[in-house]
A = this chain, B = another copy of it.
Amino acid sequence: MHALPYSQNLQRFLDRLSLRSILTKEERQAILSLPGHAKQVEANVDFVALGETVAHSCLVVAGLIGRFDQNTNGIRQITAIHIPGDVADLHSVVQPQATSALQALSVATVLQIPHAALRLATAQHPALAEILWRDCMVDAAILSQWVVNVGRREAKVRIAHLLCEMASRLGAPTAANAFSFPFMVTQVQLADATGLTGVHVNRVLKTLREDGLADVRRREVTVHDWEALVAAGEFDPNYLQADIRPDERLRIVQPA
């Protein structure tokens, strides 16, 4: 993994927070000063296990991190995909007993930030509690959409929706209607995220390709017609809360 300068990893997290919250200079500095221990995590290995009590949260530095649950037959369901800049289990600060496992979708790097440091930061800067809380709620809004995706959309729509969501979150779509972006997941992982089987995902991807919407292969998504893909995926990016204007960004505790 290309090692970014240490502070740059935290900068991405700060950027994410700043999308929805206003931070003072001191609060920004507190985020950027968080300590952390970089760790490489292998694909298909839990680095946080179900039921485990953790003492740090994992900032995604590179790669993708999935949140995994399963039914009693061991059939898996991915309930969240975290991208660089996300803290995959920020919720563990207030709820350290894991209710899902965490796994890299392909080899990834995370920065383990001790809860103690996050707690200290929120104690010194009370507004940070609300800012981190808000960050968790963005993930909850995404999760809510996943319920709809898996519960009330057909296979093709589900996959198109997931592709749209990931493209948007990764900041891939530009003015152009066609573009491509790396997406390091297998078809089976795509199936686990959409509640389908690997075989069926394969067939759906084929039709997306044949319809000229998008080509998903070799861990890369090539969108040929973004508008059409958005329509096929019934995608309305509003729930991502990613385009909140600066004057709409929230601040509950007023700066001193």
Chain A residues proximal to chain B, CB less than 8 Å: 20, 51, 67, 69-72, 75-77, 79-80, 91, 93-97, 99-100, 119, 122-123, 126, 129-130, 132-134, 136-141, 143-148, 150-153, 157, 194-195, 234, 238-239, 241, 250, 252-253
Which among A100, A151, A238 has the greatest number of chain B C-beta atoms within 10 A? Answer: A151
18 other contacts beyond A71-B153, A126-B129, A133-B133, with CB at 8 A cut-off? A71-B148, A71-B157, A72-B234, A79-B144, A79-B148, A91-B137, A93-B252, A94-B130, A94-B133, A94-B137, A95-B134, A95-B137, A95-B250, A122-B129, A122-B253, A139-B140, A147-B150, A151-B195
**Known A-B contacts A95-B141, A144-B100, A146-B147; A152 and B79 likewise in contact (beta carbons under 8 Å):** no
Q: For the complex, give the distance between the alpha carbons of A77 and B151 in Å.
A: 7
Closest to A151 in B: B195
A150 with B150: CB separation less than 8 A = yes
**Known A-B contacts A95-B241, A153-B71; A144 and B144 likewise in contact (beta carbons under 8 Å):** no
Closest to A127 in B: B129
Give every chain B residue within 8 A of A145 (Cβ-Cβ): 69, 99
Q: For the complex, give the distance between the alpha carbons of A129 and B126 in Å.
A: 8
A148 with B77: CB separation less than 8 A = yes
Closest to A141 in B: B99
Closest to A115 in B: B252
Closest to A133 in B: B133
A144 with B69: CB separation less than 8 A = yes
B152 with A77: CB separation less than 8 A = yes
Q: For the complex, give the distance between the alpha carbons of A151 and B143 in Å.
A: 13
Closest to A139 in B: B140
21 A-B residue contacts at CB 8 Å?
A67-B144, A70-B148, A75-B152, A76-B152, A77-B148, A77-B151, A77-B152, A79-B144, A80-B144, A94-B130, A94-B252, A95-B241, A96-B250, A119-B252, A122-B253, A129-B129, A129-B130, A133-B136, A136-B136, A139-B140, A140-B143
